[in-house]
Amino acid sequence: MNTTSEQWIERGDKHIATTYGRYPLVAVKGEGCWLWDAEGKKYLDFLAGVAVNNLGHCHPNVVKALQKQAETLIHCSNYYHIPSQIELAEILCNNSFGDRVFFCNSGAEANEAAMKLVRKHSADNHGNDRFEVITALASFHGRTIGTISATGQDAVRKGFTPVVPGFKYVPFGDIEAMANAVSEKTCAVMLEPVQGEGGVNVAPAGYLQAVRELCDKHNLLLVFDEVQVGCGRTGKLFAYQHDDVAPDIMTLAKALAGGPPIGAMVATETAAATFVPGTHGSTFGGNPLMSTAAVAAMNTLINDGVLDNCVAMGAYLRDKLEQLSQRYSFAGDVRGRGLILGMKLDIPGADIVNAAMAKGLLINCTAGSVLRFVPPLIVSREEIDTAMEILDEVLSAINVENG
């Protein structure tokens, strides 16, 4: 007899740490933009593992790469050279500003590596008194003690103080506030080109360029956290490319391997030079299995028209969302870039997320009242139409409830 969703949830509640407010959905299968639960119900997945499944669920190129590599070599130490890791580093550097890559397992680890690197670089070049990093309010950089210290949200630090000192937070998009925060102790600025968890906030035109100029003026390293918005999510391979502003360091994870866990810190030769043997490491970082999957995912992203589809479908989805926003008084502006889009609401979004899931559409709400849409970059016009029909039904019901 098949195990039901209710049975799986009951078993999980006994032993899994309660770090997530989980929905009553037990995922057992995925294909393309669709997810199935234990009862066989089909869901249109516009959350995509929180912007992880950019190529959809179980993309054939990634699956084949994993299967072949799993039969050959799953893991070996980074004391040795790993061909697929080298290939992946070449792909990332040849398609970005970067010269060198450090591999790890997650976005939080990539951001930890970046924070260690900027401090080490500053210590080597300017002395130990120059260690502060400026980040933005409403930012999100991870869940480790170091990355919650960098995150510009008090909520994620609650109960975990004292956090790591040496961070200042300024309003996102305010270059004057950024300039005023720079002191003799500042060593770097760390920003998301598009704030995902903070409410899908896009950097204003000219802002990233102004930050770059500020960093150059004060000899500061500039870090772009592209964990959520990199790897094609915005319609370009990396989000910084929209503004034609190259950072010194960029962090990646989520979609890098098309589903399997891997993180990366990409850096210029100048910034990376301060990392020498013994300064940092990761046992599993860039292991043969994960880096092989990432090579397949990145090659698919670059060569198979995925970015063009992201641009076209991003514009189509945005237009559909704007039409809905105009129809309902509690719906506000639609913002984002490519296929990371948000709809601001005048009401909490949790009930809308739950109602959409009941009808077979998976989305989520961030910052309390911003519906976030991050479907796979392979999404079709027909799938967007289906998603918007469901969302329209949900919003219409909410509208009736609100009188």
CA 300 → CA 60, 126, 218, 256, 383, distances in Å?
10, 42, 39, 11, 21
The question of whether 140 is a catalytic residue gets the answer yes
Of 46, 103, 131, 140, which residue is the catalytic one? 140
- Calculate ∠ Cα 200-204-208, nearest 5°: 105
Of 120, 254, 320, 344, which residue is the catalytic one? 254
SS (H, E, C) the chain: CCCCHHHHHHHHHHHCCCCCCCCCCCEEEEEECEEEECCCCEEEECCHHHHCCCCCECCHHHHHHHHHHHCCCCCCCCCCCCHHHHHHHHHHHHCCCCCEEEEECCHHHHHHHHHHHHHHHHHHHHCCCCCEEEEEECCCCCCCHHHHHHCECHHHHCCCCCCCCCEEEECCCCHHHHHHHCCCCEEEEEECCEECCCCCEECCCCHHHHHHHHHHHHCCEEEEECCCCCCCCCCCCCHHHHCCCCCCEEEECHHHHCCCCCEEEEECHHHHCCCCCCCCCCCCCCCHHHHHHHHHHHHHHHHCCHHHHHHHHHHHHHHHHHHHHHHCCCEEEEEEECCEEEEEECCCCHHHHHHHHHCCEECEEECCCEEEECCCCCCCHHHHHHHHHHHHHHHHHHHHHCC
The question of whether 254 is a catalytic residue gets the answer yes
CA dihedral 373, 378, 379, 382 (to 10 degrees): 170
Of 225, 236, 238, 275, which residue is the catalytic one? 225
CA–CA gap between residue 388 and residue 391 (Å, rounded): 5
- Are 55 and 64 within 8 A, CB to CB? no
Q: 320: closest CA among 271, 391, 251?
A: 391
Q: Which residues are catalytic?
A: 140, 225, 254
